[in-house]
């Protein structure tokens, strides 16, 4: 097994936004943390960015943020309430929770290793949208249309209660 050590710096700052990560440094808004003392999921999301290290290639921001929220929701907060996604207005490129819930759904429907494979491709600088077709047999647009149809049929559906394969 290959083992990697990752070093990170955690800084608390005043300012706008909840948190940001870059160059191995996580900056968290001190005012926010004082108010949301139990938001450990935010830290998980930012730590995921440190591990992602997508320095090469052109991994789109929606996927980077979607995978970080996927890790947060699927592995750290699996029982957390999921937001409703409006299939008429949403897109897989919305990032964060929308993309995370979509990725969960695709994994359950098509390939349980999807996010792991996408993450690896992104870390190697080889991500392309066509990988969705390679890994699932369907284009991203086909997958999103199917997901949106599922949302229309069952408006309360989330990835945690989506139909099995």
133 closest CA partner among 146, 143, 125, 124: 143
Indicate the pLDDT class of residue 155, thresholds 50, 70 and 90: low
Secondary-structure percent of the chain, ordered helix, strand, coil, rounded to 5? 50, 10, 40
Indicate the pLDDT class of residue 4, thresholds 50, 70 and 90: confident
Q: What pLDDT was estimated at residue 163?
A: 39
Q: Alpha-carbon distance 76 to 68, whole Å?
A: 11
**CA dihedral of 129, 134, 136, 137, whole degrees rounded to 10:** 110
**Residue that wins the pLDDT comparison between 54 and 146:** 146
Q: Alpha-carbon distance 82 to 90, whole Å?
A: 15
| 7-60 per-position pLDDT tens digit | 899 999 998 899 999 888 999 999 999 999 999 999 999 999 999 988 777 899
Beta bridge partners of 25: 9, 22
Q: Is the pLDDT of residue 134 over 90?
A: yes
């Amino acid at each position: 097994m290959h083992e990697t050590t990752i070093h990170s710096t955690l800084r608390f700052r005043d300012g706008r936004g909840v948190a940001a990560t870059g160059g191995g440094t996580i900056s968290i808004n001190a005012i926010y943390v004082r108010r949301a003392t139990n938001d450990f999921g935010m830290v998980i999301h930012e730590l995921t960015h440190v591990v992602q290290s997508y320095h090469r290639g052109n991994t789109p921001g929606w996927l980077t943020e979607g995978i970080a929220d996927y890790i947060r929701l699927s592995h750290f907060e699996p029982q957390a309430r999921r937001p409703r996604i409006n299939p008429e207005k949403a897109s897989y490129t919305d990032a964060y929770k929308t993309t995370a819930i979509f990725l969960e759904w695709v994994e359950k429907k098509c390939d349980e290793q999807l996010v792991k494979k996408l993450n690896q491709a992104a870390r190697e600088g080889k991500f392309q949208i066509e990988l969705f077709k390679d890994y699932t047999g369907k284009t991203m647009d086909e997958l999103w249309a199917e997901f949106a149809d599922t949302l229309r049929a069952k408006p309360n559906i989330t990835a945690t209660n989506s139909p099995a394969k």
